[in-house]
Structure 1
Amino acid sequence: MGLRHFILGNPLQTEDQKHERLGVVTGLPIFASDALSSVAYATEEILLVLTGASAAVLHYSLPIAFVICALLAIVTISYRQTVYAYPNGGGAYVVALENLGRWPGLVAAAALLIDYVLTVAVSISAGIRAIISAFPLLQQHIVLLCVLSVMVMAWANLRGVRESARLMSIPTWGFILIMISLLLLGGYRLATGELHPLPLPASLPTESDLGPIALVVLLVKAFSSGCTAMTGVEAVSNGVPVFKSPEPRNASRTLLLLSSILGGIFIGVTFLAYHLDIVPRETESVLSQIARLVFGTGPLYYITQFLTMAILVLAANTSFAGFPRLASILAKDGFLPKQLANLGDRLAFSNGIVALAVAAIVLLLIFKGDVHSLIPLYALGVFLSFTLSQTGMVVFFIRKKLANWEARAAINCVGAITTTIAFLAIVEAKFLAGAWIVALLIPAFLWLFQSIRKHYDVVELQLSPRMGGLGEWLPWSHEFRPKVVVPISKMHPGTLAALELARAISHDVTAVTVDVDPRDTANLRLAWRAMRLKEPLVVLESPYRAVIEPVMHFLEQQDRRDEDRGQAVVVLPEFMPAKWWQTLLHNQTALLLKAELLFRKGANGENRIVIDVPYRLRRHAQLVPLQKKKIMP
């Protein structure tokens, strides 16, 4: 516990939760780092598609960026209404579930969970690429650096909301300032003629022979790639409860500030990239090329790269804030394991944080930290959730008929239509490139949700007092005289304690052992006779040295004896080492037998009663040296 508290911090009381709330200044780093960081790769993804055709179509990058920013404004205004309508957290799952029904809600939840994992993988891999652009020798360690970054982010979030906010604040605000400086200085030097465009690669065609239809397809593909700039908006509406009171106002201001900064920087970076003829290169990112031209190769360039790396790595924090909270809501509704709803010592959803970190690390290992391989999987899920959320808000205003509901419903209707168009564009452009994986994962998640909910429903039904009443099965009544079996392996204090308990339960007690080692069995027989124990000791033969099956077969025989007395009760002695790691030094026979007893029904089809009698060993025991016997001459 001491090491755990040293790493994660001292536990916080439940009453301290109100002190873990965030304001606009502290909330922006938590929820905006994902969206802000996308400027490091969104422009590059647009240019990557356009350069696949020719240099003649690069001028379309600016109109595409403006269309994406217009879509961002629509989504921001729409989600601002969601924040006020759902002050307890209005993520796409909650909105779709309450207004469109269970299945649309679960589709939105599945899409978001997948997108949160992808956000971590894409942000981390893009951040590490920013550092590799400045230090190419690190290329061979890209996967290791990605994994370590995920682990650091998980650690920061396990320490609690305020701890992670402190960690995010400096790099986030530093990135914003350095990007504003880059754009202002770059624009000034470009206007004064100090900056000159880079020469285009010789391999890039300068003429385009694309027909109208092919050009439209190309522009749609470039638009869908650039839409990755909009991911992260959802997390603000999902995390309204973590803001200080009044929660909706602070969340709304954070959302507006996020979108304004994001739109301005995204347009600025695309503007400079277009006017400087910058195209994607395998060894250096687009943002790195712009910073090298504007700042030169001095300290400001390296500060830009380090802050870009930091904001990209910290962008994963949006997912670490959103994924565990969404998972906790799903767990409370019975669609994910209940453990995901539990708050940890530091008032963070620790199990959800760990689950997200593990999933992201697996994804990074599979794709070897390559951001361009991960991008095609990206944005499909988030735009699907955008569409469902906005459609749900339209139904919400129509049903509630609040003040000015017609105008408010119209805003969300525009949001639903535009995000649907964007979603279809992403599907068309990215499906064969890897988005089909997400399309398969969403039904898999739906099946998982339904299976878990079905299990919890069955458990709830069978444990309900309405199922025959609590007094239907009371085996410990005064007429209960069970047949008791005590499996043992050797004579020790735990064995004697188990026999003593068995005698208190019944007069029909049988001890049973499996003859795996004849010498041990002989010693046990001698000890049994020496202690004059009255209970019979049954030795089971086991030619193949199995332990579990002979005991289970003997129990079935006992079940059939005097069937009117029910099946045999098992009293299981088990010694426990003083330290957890010492368990690895012993056979786990008792544990395996206990698991078999709990999950296998008796001969009559009923659940068997198993009583575990643990005997804990002391940390230190005084060893008595063996006395050498004197040999008489």
Structure 2
Amino acid sequence: MVSKMKRILIGPPMKSTELADEKLTKFKALAVLSSDALSSVAYGTEQILMVLIIMGAAALWYSIPISVAVLALLLILILSYRQIIHNYPSGGGAYMVAKENLGLSFGLVAGGSLLVDYILTVAVSASAGTDAITSAFPALHEHRVLIALVMISALTLLNLRGITESASILAYPVYLFIGAIMLMMVSGAVQALTGQIEPVTAPPAYGAAVPGITLFLLLKAFSSGCSALTGVEAVSNAIPNFKAPAPRNAAATLMMMGVILGTMFIGISVLAYLYGIVPNRTETVISQLANAIFGRGAMYYFIQAVTALILFLAANTAFSAFPLLAFMLAKDKFMPRMFKVRGDRLGFSNGIIILGFFSALLIVLFNGHTENLIPLYAIGVFIPFTLSQAGMMRKWLREKPKGWTLPFAINTVGMLTTLCITLIFLFTKFAQVWMVFLFLPAVIYVFRKINQHYTAIAEELRIDIHTDKPCKKGSTVVIPVAGITRVVRNSISYATSLTDNVVAVYIGFDEEEIAKMEQKWAEWNPGVRLICLRSRYRSIMRPLIKFIDTIEWKTSATDHVTILIPQFVTKRWWHYVLHNQTSLLIRAYLIARKDVTITTVPYHLNK
């Protein structure tokens, strides 16, 4: 039943030789890996306006120069990550760059930041997508948590089906979103040029003085607008997912993403200013802008629908990048080995499932209101931005290849800019990002402990193949029995095929019960000695453990002691809860003992 359901949900298993067919073309990769960055235009401008409105509507004109500054930073990041793609074609992005050039600790900081950031990406994207739906249909506001959880579940299942299949499906809404926003921008520009604009409120005079405006507030607005740049790094993390030549295709995808993102972001900022859009808690800026340009007709609802879709699908960037980064950390023994395993559909299924689970947990914990996580989400990616640029600077200085001065200058500007943004986030939004000082050390501590464990285990298990040979040992097999049944007969048959030193143990609660068992055993005469133990306190484990200790004392140090537990396997799954409780108890007690081996002999029932 479970297997059939799994096949229906994620499809039939794929052969390992089909992995090459799962690679992405540029246009599919743009849809999958750029959805996070492209979706940020739906709230990047809004984040700037929400800070500026504190000083009143007159301060909203500052959104234009701030948007231009964000656009300049985007250009720097695109050029910087293009260098990383060509120099680290195996993927891993900031983690690989920082680890190789700045040291392991910086690499773990970058990797840990990105992993947490991807979880936040899914939660924030699902929440933002829900906001777009509830802006159009306010009656659904009370169901925001359920809507977000349904969408996260759908994305998790879609990605479990394989990256190519998910890319084929997700390409349509991503390109529909790009088309819808471009159409809205063109329509708004035409209205502006022909003087047909009907502003929501009178736009403030551009360049007008705003009493009380401070540099601190402007920096805070700038850092809020930089949330539009999250997701830029995803392409460099997922280079192995591209068709050959992977670095070239990844670099081209990154450039396409940068052009589209920059055009849409600055276009929405300019239109929001021209139409006098004022941010509010009940309706998004995109919703107000679409309403002002098209009215509440079919086009408005189409834009809201594709905006909601792209905000949900922004999470898909994380579903593509998180499993790959987790795989690289697991390969370096800093995360559990399960993240290295490919699933039935050739994706890193464990990474996909873990990402879906933790992001859904955040949605529940924050009751669907994850807007307070956006600064934490942004700083989580600006830390790796800074470390990756610093790592590339170190690389150029160390290697000094031909023509290294230009890329060094690009990375230097990138490092200084992203470092400044990180510090701005810390100073202007400390109340919202202070948790980074708790979870980052905690994540790195966990990475270190996992690595220490794997290193210690490898050291303990390592053998010298020239001197460490298996040694032959005798074996004593103890079979706990509750009566004379086919299950016991099956277990004795198996035990006697391994060794002649087999003993059955029966634990009774009174003398009459023990006498009956001894008599029936003598009549059956299976060729195995029966030892009956009386339990004065109706306990099975105490007499059994005492007997095992006695057997060990009598057995030579070179012998194995095996507890062979008879167990029947029921035909229907729900029958299982009615049986085998004693065998489970015995295993639970003995599994921690170093001096015995536990074996289960199954007997399959037909009824």
Aligned to 1:557: 550
Structure 2 counterpart of 1:560, one-letter code: W
Extract unaligned runs of 5+ from structure 2.
none
Distance 1:540 1:420 in 2: 74
Distance 2:335 2:241 in 1: 22
Aligned to 1:192: 194
Aligned to 1:91: 93
Describe the superposition over 1:179-222 as per-residue Cα deviations: whole angstroms up to 9, x where unpaired.
00111111221232322222389xxxx995526xxx11111211
Question: Equivalent of 2:449, from 442, 451, 476?
Answer: 451
Q: Please give the residue correspondences for 1:311-326 in structure 2 after superposition, counting only pairs within 5 Å.
A: 311-326=310-325
Distance 1:349 1:126 in 2: 26
Change (3 A) 1:389 1:541: same
1:539 aligns with 2:533: yes
Distance 1:32 1:261 in 2: 10
Aligned to 1:489: 482
Is 510-519 or 295-304 further displaced after alignment?
510-519
Aligned to 1:142: 144
Aligned to 2:376: 377
Change (3 A) 1:429 1:492: farther
Count matched residues: 600
Distance 1:391 1:375 in 2: 25
Distance 1:316 1:222 in 2: 24
Question: Equivalent of 2:460, from 447, 455, 462?
Answer: 462
Aligned to 2:59: 57
Distance 2:47 2:146 in 1: 24
Distance 1:82 1:52 in 2: 39
Question: Equivalent of 1:614, from 587, 595, 602?
Answer: 602
Distance 2:215 2:277 in 1: 23
Structure 1 counterpart of 2:603, one-letter code: Y
Distance 1:229 1:501 in 2: 66
Distance 1:428 1:516 in 2: 72
Secondary structure (helix, strand or coil) at the match of 1:511 reads strand
Deviation of the 1:5 alpha carbon: 1.8
Structure 1 counterpart of 2:132, one-letter code: A
Secondary structure (helix, strand or coil) at the match of 1:611 reads strand
Distance 2:263 2:592 in 1: 60
Describe the superposition over 1:483-519 as per-residue Cα deviations: whole angstroms up to 9, x where unpaired.
3321233433232232233334444433224447999
Asked whether the equivalents of residues 55 and 207 of structure 1 are also in contact (C-alpha less than 8 Å), the reply is: no
Q: Please give the residue correspondences for 1:97-116 in structure 2 after superposition, counting only pairs within 5 Å.
A: 97-116=99-118
Is 30-39 or 582-591 further displaced after alignment?
582-591
Describe the superposition over 1:573-629 as per-residue Cα deviations: whole angstroms up to 9, x where unpaired.
222223445434434432343244232223xxxxx22232222223xx4xxxxxxxx
Aligned to 1:627: none
Asked whether the equivalents of residues 147 and 364 of structure 1 are also in contact (C-alpha less than 8 Å), the reply is: yes
Change (3 A) 1:52 1:563: farther
| TM-score, L = length of structure 1 | 0.90
Describe the superposition over 1:321-362 as per-residue Cα deviations: whole angstroms up to 9, x where unpaired.
000011111111111111111111111111110000001000
Aligned to 1:258: 257
Change (3 A) 1:506 1:78: same
Secondary structure (helix, strand or coil) at the match of 1:536 reads strand
Aligned to 1:399: 398
| TM-score, L = length of structure 2 | 0.93
Is 374-383 or 157-166 further displaced after alignment?
374-383
Describe the superposition over 1:261-295 as per-residue Cα deviations: whole angstroms up to 9, x where unpaired.
11111111111112222122121111100011111
Distance 1:548 1:379 in 2: 56
Change (3 A) 1:584 1:194: farther
Distance 2:517 2:79 in 1: 78
Describe the superposition over 1:1-53 as per-residue Cα deviations: whole angstroms up to 9, x where unpaired.
33322221122111211111111111110111000000111111111111123
Asked whether the equivalents of residues 461 and 467 of structure 1 are also in contact (C-alpha less than 8 Å), the reply is: no
Aligned to 1:500: 493
Asked whether the equivalents of residues 221 and 429 of structure 1 are also in contact (C-alpha less than 8 Å), the reply is: yes
Structure 2 counterpart of 1:292, one-letter code: N
Deviation of the 1:546 alpha carbon: 4.8
Aligned to 2:285: 286
**Could you say what the CA RMSD is over the residues aligned between the two structures, in angstroms?**
2.4
Deviation of the 1:430 alpha carbon: 2.3
Distance 2:24 2:530 in 1: 68
Is 372-381 or 229-238 further displaced after alignment?
372-381
Describe the superposition over 1:384-418 as per-residue Cα deviations: whole angstroms up to 9, x where unpaired.
01111111112222233322122222211211111
Deviation of the 1:450 alpha carbon: 1.1
Distance 1:391 1:338 in 2: 30
Secondary structure (helix, strand or coil) at the match of 2:435 reads helix
Deviation of the 1:260 alpha carbon: 0.8
Aligned to 1:630: none
Is 451-460 or 562-571 further displaced after alignment?
562-571
Change (3 A) 1:20 1:593: same
1:328 aligns with 2:321: no
Distance 2:110 2:69 in 1: 25
Identical pairs, percent: 41
Distance 1:527 1:97 in 2: 70
Asked whether the equivalents of residues 513 and 539 of structure 1 are also in contact (C-alpha less than 8 Å), the reply is: yes
Distance 1:247 1:230 in 2: 23
Distance 1:547 1:404 in 2: 78
Structure 1 counterpart of 2:535, one-letter code: E
Aligned to 1:356: 355
Structure 2 counterpart of 1:436, one-letter code: W
Secondary structure (helix, strand or coil) at the match of 2:565 reads strand
